[in-house]
Amino acid sequence: MNVHVSGSTPYLFQGTILAGGTLSSAIDLRDTVLVGLISDTSAVNGTLNFQVAHSENGSFFDLYDGDGAAVAVTLPGGTRAISGDALRFLTPYRFVKIKSSVAQTTGLRFVLPARA
């Protein structure tokens, strides 16, 4: 589910990886630029990878860099904030799913602040 703060920026997108799961539901970034990712609940150490699609109900594909390596961001345990600079690669994509390399034992809620 996405939540938008009305008025001017920022937008706040929310996502969840359910307990025991590794993949969030689709997040619609709607012509915004991410300025960060905040894990709202304590995360299990791992790596975050990303899946992208051109439509919410379309096929999602793992995101790779120009060298063929999966695009990844390290997720230390606990609650953390990740810089928007580390997420610039998501700018061209409207629909995103976040994938954890390890199952999140209690689930993981996160907030993605963005600007128009």
Give the global pTM: 0.83
Residue 52 structure tokens: 């992208």
Q: How confident is the model at residue 51 (pLDDT cuts 50, 70, 90)?
A: very high
Query: Looking at residue 9, what is its pLDDT?
Result: 54
Give the mean pLDDT of 46-62.
92
The sign of the torsion formed by the CA atoms of 102, 97, 16, 8 equals positive
Question: Measured over all CA atoms, what is the biggest interatomic distance in the chain, rounded to whole angstroms?
Answer: 40
Give the mean pLDDT of 19-39.
90
Q: 70: Cβ–Cβ under 8 A, 6 or more apart, which residues?
A: 49, 62, 63, 64
Give the mean pLDDT of 87-112.
89
Q: Which domains does the chain have, with CATH numbers?
A: 2-115 (2.60.120)
- pLDDT of residue 41 exceeding 80, the answer is no
Give the mean pLDDT of 77-90.
83
